[in-house]
Amino acid sequence: MPLPTPVSPAVVFPSPTTRKSNLTEGHPEVDCGVGAWDKLLYGNHRFVVVAGNGTRAAQAYRVVLPWRRQDEDPAGVDVIIVSEQTGARVRNVIVEEASRESGSIVFEAIDGQGIYFVYYLPYAMLGKPHYPQAQYLPRRPTADPAWAAVVGRSFGTGRAQGDLPNATVLRYEAASERDSFAPMNFTARRDELERFRSRHAEDAFLVFPEDRLNPISMRRDLPAHWVMSGPSYSLQGAAQAGEDYVVQLGLYAQKDLEDVTVAVTSPAGGHCINTDGVDRFGKPWRRTLGVPAGTVQALFIILPIPLNAAGGSHCAVIAIEAAGEAAWEVGVTLDVAPETEPPPAAGGFGDPRYLRRLAWLDSPVAQDAELVRPFTAITLDEPTKTLGILGRSLQVAESGLPAQVTSTFTTAVTATDGPAVELFRGPVRLDIEGIHWSYSPLTFTAEGPARMSWRCHWSGQQRSGEAGGTTAVIVQVTGVLDADGTVSYSLRLVPERAAEVPDVGLQLAFHETAVPLAMGLGVPGGRRPDSLDWAWDVAAKNQDALWLGSVNAGMQLSLRDGTYERPLNTNFYREKPLVEPVSWANRQAEGIRGGITLRTMENTVTVNAFSGARTLTANEPLDFDFRLLLTPFKPLRPGNHLAKRYFHQPADPADIRAAGATVVNVHHATAPAPYINDPLLTVESLREYVAECHRHGLKAKVYNTVRELTFHSPELLPLMQLDHEILSDGPGAGHIWLQEHAGSGYVSAWFAPDVDDIAVVTTGESRWENFYVRSLQELANGVDGIDGIYLDDIAYDRHAMLRVRKVLERACGARGVDGPDIDLHSANQFTANDGYASSANLYMEQLPYVDRLWLGEYFDYDTTDPDYWLVELSGIPFGLMGEMLEGGGNPWRGMVFGMTGRAPAVDNRPLWEFWSETGLEHGRMHGFWDPQAPIRTSHPDVRATTWLTDRGMVVALASWAGDTEHVRLIFDDGAAATSRINAPAIPGFQAAASYAPGDAITLEPRRGLLLTIGY
């Protein structure tokens, strides 16, 4: 249908090529600019005033500052005045009046007539250096009483008394353009608001088109220029063909608004990201808004500009409606640049300040069920109902629940052709006492080579009531298996009528010999306890999952329901903890009834996930969902691991190569990528560095995750308008910039002072995943695209992790290079602040798509036992290998697992040279966990890992004994014991030594040796 003609007069947004500085026009009364000063000393804001300015000289001047402030207590904040001429601070200052609208200040002209700087929001950076808590400096009277008395006698003590000469305000200045309040954060005065509201008293809400370069941030105050110019029904702007043009509208509610919707009529479509879009699973996403009276809601509308619109106009109408209120329509007319002007570069987003990247919130990239390496297509043997994946199989019982899980991974975890290991003694059951189930036939659906689903429903009868009647209970079962070994179950229990049940519980029975190791539910990684009693406590514990297994067969069980939301991780867990599952936890008046028990008896390990007694309400479903992760996920590649030698600093690539490294991790707060989790902001310098790495035969990866977002991202303030969908709600405060521009309702995160980078915490799951995956595609594409990413904890789930893997793998494939490489770093989260979560257990769902672990800060490499190392630190039971970080790690124990410390903080060159000299990266690794390992030691607390190479054997020994021990090597192959055993000199690691077969080898506590045999 034809588009309505825009209503005039229009708000006109100038072309980027003709635009004046927003700062110079940002205040109603004075010019605005940027100055240079020490903002840690004086704050971010000042007024430049001139004393005298051709009038009579005086000892003291009064200046009235039209500061139009947002802060709630202007009278309580200090004011600092400095002379331009000498840089001296003026001590004789009297603040006569300080309201949000203006401030009246009397000061001594210590250097006579001239320029003085009035700093009116000085602050102190308190708290930790990387997690500051800034506070404005309180008002501190500095005026000499004698001077104040003289000023009072000569001129009176107030504005109404005496005739002090006035200093003139020349302009407002900010310490940087990002710090400036211009033009969006100067508030309207009370008299201006009264006139404004009088003119628009009949309107339920008002709409203000605003330039996309001026992000709306104030929620409870109106910008002064809105009040003076008034709302509008139209806007005009300049666009480029092929871009996603962003229209920013400010909606001001004069009464409570409900069910606010935004409709877009445009030849090429369009939508409002506040109300419409595509969710993180690629499905349509829609919601209505509620806007409380007296608040501002920014709306962002994406208008795709067709390529064939070049040289013409593009028109659209945006209709905003609220329940029971008249619609407000904004007509948009965009002049589209001719074809002679190039379209936005770099994938269509160009200059990030124009917010075109907001369209990536709807990105469908990598939303498919295709495979990534090394996983294989799921097979189905219908007669036995057995599903096959890489190295594992899942047999499904007639109930749809697992009947058996089998692994054929070898005990070295390097291949999938080993003998079958079964986990279960019997099928998994969901039990309700007194109910006998009948099952419908199973139906299987292949959703793609990487996903298979199945469905059935159960019918059960329970005797209930004094009359002996029966209650029917239905359970709708949906199971999904992914090629990586993730099994997701949705069990929806629907009672026909109310009934009392003693418990709804999940029963799993394991072969004891198959599950000697455990992790989760308060158990740090290591040996499995014989018994465990655990109850839900989401406020303090980030725990909902238990892993049981061995290195070559295992399973993680996690319990969920339809209310599940991913919590914040690391030190932010308590800001957004786990959502307690209503079904499994079963909170009653007396407390939680649900939990998990583990018992060991008669060669069986039984896990009972119980929910306790409850009343089932008629036709009110309960979701008893759970997920299984079948481990290990993939075979180890020890040679590949040793061949990729990491350097964690973007130094000169020639020097990195000379040091023996093959991969460089470009961390944030460095020159190629200074801003956390948005490396596209400096993509040119990053690509130049990556290209130089490639020329020297290095791979280059970049720090990029989604846990935090830098304030340098132009999208940050728009994202804060999305009702905490993407940025986590929280207590606010933190760095002063956040307090002055973001207001409240956020979680302050990492601050990197060296690059002035401030961040806030994102939520766990949102459309930001779409943005993130699309941005990774941008970073990875092209000859000089990144070769992978370094993750500092993970704030998204395995679905997003799989999309990340696909995007990076496909980009590497298009370039014809091996990859990608994805690292995961985590600090030890088994602490009170982090909710006592073992990092490997917490991130197990992402491990199929990770290549290397860096676990990490605050881990104990000296006092923990080898089973803890194996389960919690090494990654080996899950099909990957790791490295060390805290204190450089323990290099001797680390070598038993193929782990080293982080270069260049740790000098790995001697070890790397030893690997090359011995051909270790081409050897076959057999760890102490492998019963087929050719060598073990005579002491149970001294562990040995052996590499078999073409030239002989390399043996890594490490002691976990408390005292110095004298151990002998025990060979499975007696012939090997005839070769001399050498300990080559490795600087910083060991002195040279030689041993005859059978000799005792002396090992001090927490130390070890690297030995060669047959070389």
Contacts of 146 (CB under 8 A, 6+ apart): none
* E strand intervals along 140-243: 168-174, 205-210, 234-239
Q: Please check the confidence at residue 465 and state whether its pLDDT lies above 80.
A: no
- Paired strand residues for 1012: 954, 982
Cis before residue 502, ω within 30 degrees of 0?
A: no
What is the average pLDDT value for the chain, to the nearest integer? 93
Q: Please check the confidence at residue 54 and state whether its pLDDT lies above 70.
A: no
H/E stretch holding 948 reads strand 942-948
In this predicted model, what pLDDT tens digit does every residue of 919-974 receive, in sequence order? Answer: 999 999 999 999 999 999 999 999 999 999 999 999 999 999 999 999 999 998 76
Using alpha carbons, select from 162, 23, 39, 29 the residue that is nearest to residue 94.
Answer: 162
Cα-flanking dihedrals φ and ψ of residue 395, to 5°?
-95, 130
Beta carbons of 62 and 106 less than 8 angstroms apart: yes
- The first and second tokens of residue 420, run together, are 């079958």
* E strand intervals along 68-152: 80-83, 89-90, 93-98, 103-108, 114-119, 123-128, 131-136
Beta carbons of 812 and 819 less than 8 angstroms apart: yes
Give the separation between CA 563 and CA 278, rounded to whole angstroms: 20
- The first and second tokens of residue 17, run together, are 């090529």
Q: Is the dihedral of CA 888, 891, 893, 899 positive or negative?
A: positive
Q: Please check the confidence at residue 19 and state whether its pLDDT lies above 70.
A: no
- The first and second tokens of residue 873, run together, are 């630190």
Contacts of 585 (CB under 8 A, 6+ apart): 536, 538, 592, 593, 594, 611
- CA geometry: angle at 501 spanning 500 and 504, to 5°? 145
| Count of residues in the chain | 1015
Give the separation between CA 939 and CA 554, rounded to whole angstroms: 28
Which residue matches tokens 């562990």?
943
In this predicted model, what pLDDT tens digit does every residue of 674-726 receive, in sequence order? Answer: 999 999 999 999 999 999 999 999 999 999 999 999 999 999 999 999 999 99
pLDDT, mean of residues 225-248: 95
Q: Can you give the pLDDT at residue 343?
A: 59
Beta carbons of 272 and 289 less than 8 angstroms apart: no
CA separation, residue 332 to residues 113, 246, 269, 316, 335 (Å): 51, 11, 13, 5, 10
Contacts of 432 (CB under 8 A, 6+ apart): 460, 462, 473, 501, 503, 504
Q: Can you give the pLDDT at residue 161?
A: 44
Q: Can you give the pLDDT at residue 868?
A: 97
pLDDT, mean of residues 141-167: 75
SS3 readout for 259-306: EEEEEEECCCCCEECCCEEECCCCCEEECCEEECCCCEEEEEEEEECC
Point out the least confidently predicted range of 62-66, 463-467, 544-548, 591-595.
463-467
Contacts of 618 (CB under 8 A, 6+ apart): 495, 496, 497, 498
- Amino acid of residue 904: P
pLDDT, mean of residues 730-741: 96
Q: Please check the confidence at residue 762 and state whether its pLDDT lies above 60.
A: yes
- Burial grade of 389 (CB within 10 A; 0-12, 13-18, 19 or more): buried
Q: Please check the confidence at residue 18 and state whether its pLDDT lies above 60.
A: no
Which residue matches tokens 């996603």?
244
Cα-flanking dihedrals φ and ψ of residue 57, to 5°?
-70, 150
Q: Please check the confidence at residue 348 and state whether its pLDDT lies above 80.
A: no
Q: Please check the confidence at residue 151 and state whether its pLDDT lies above 90.
A: no
- The first and second tokens of residue 652, run together, are 């000169």
Q: Can you give the pLDDT at residue 56?
A: 59
The half-sphere exposure of 560 on its side-chain side, counting CA atoms within 13 A, is: 17
Whether pTM > 0.85 for this model: the answer is yes
Q: Please check the confidence at residue 464 and state whether its pLDDT lies above 60.
A: no
Give the separation between CA 32 and CA 170, rounded to whole angstroms: 9
Give the separation between CA 612 and CA 581, rounded to whole angstroms: 13
Q: Please check the confidence at residue 620 and state whether its pLDDT lies above 80.
A: yes
Cα-flanking dihedrals φ and ψ of residue 526, to 5°?
155, -150
Q: Please check the confidence at residue 163 and state whether its pLDDT lies above 90.
A: no
- Amino acid of residue 126: L
Give the separation between CA 79 and CA 813, rounded to whole angstroms: 60
Q: How confident is the model at residue 1 (pLDDT cuts 50, 70, 90)?
A: very low
- The first and second tokens of residue 754, run together, are 């060296």
**First-to-last C-alpha distance (Å) of the chain:** 83
Contacts of 152 (CB under 8 A, 6+ apart): none
Contacts of 338 (CB under 8 A, 6+ apart): 310, 311
Q: Please check the confidence at residue 160 and state whether its pLDDT lies above 50.
A: no
Q: Please check the confidence at residue 799 and state whether its pLDDT lies above 50.
A: yes
Give the separation between CA 132 and CA 738, rounded to whole angstroms: 11
Q: Please check the confidence at residue 217 and state whether its pLDDT lies above 80.
A: yes
Beta carbons of 653 and 696 less than 8 angstroms apart: yes
Using alpha carbons, select from 79, 92, 105, 80 the residue that is nearest to residue 142.
Answer: 92
Using alpha carbons, select from 826, 822, 895 the residue that is nearest to residue 855.
Answer: 826
In this predicted model, what pLDDT tens digit does every residue of 651-660 receive, in sequence order? Answer: 999 999 999 9
What share of the chain in percent tops pLDDT 70? 94
